[in-house]
Chain A
């Protein structure tokens, strides 16, 4: 089975801190994604990557950046955390651009105080 692992289940950070959320997948998937999940809003795509060192903006990229130095790892970076970035962050991967079957990690609940 595909495993998508997010490094932290819960994180508490202060406003203005730089925050790194890490995600690793073990099935050699080309595509990796970062979503945020908020009650009543569903999932919104922040960034995705279809290859090493490649990235594309999703629907809500403002305030975020990403890094994909290795195929298995995709990092989400909050350059200067703000309270409105308090959310559940979900990482996902898929085999290829044409394959929409997403495999999700269990999520990181980030609280920015």
Chain B
């Protein structure tokens, strides 16, 4: 089956850029997503990218997709303490919500 992998932990200083990485195995993925989970809360959709795109920018967030290497990354510019959370990537190749495969999540810690 599909597999989505992330490193478990990342620590950055406030003001620096954060880069959270994700690899997936399903070459037919059509949409790839980034969700954010703040402490004590459910997940919220941050951004997504369609598989025919290489990059998507949304304010401080930049998503890069390397389809050849099946590698997705989320870059957060000027990281703030409020960015401390767990970040999940998710992929789907069928375009239906029931077929989302989530990664293990990366805990981002922002230090002063």
Contacts and interface: CB of A to CB of B under 8 A. Distances in A.
Interface of A: 4, 31, 33, 35, 40-45, 48, 50, 56, 58, 90, 92, 94, 97-107
B104 A31 contact: no
B98 A106 contact: no
Contacts of A48: 97-98
Given A4-B42, A104-B44, A106-B40, A43 B97 contact: no
Instruction: Classify chain B: how many residues form its interface, as a range.
Output: 20 to 34
Contact of B97 (A41, A102, A106): A102
A67 to B, nearest CB: 18
5 contacts: A45-B100, A58-B98, A92-B42, A100-B96, A102-B97
A51 to B, nearest CB: 12
Contacts of A31: 97-98
B15 interface: no
Contact of B45 (A33, A40, A102, A107): A102
B48, B88, B100, B103: most-surrounded residue (chain A CB, <10 A): B100
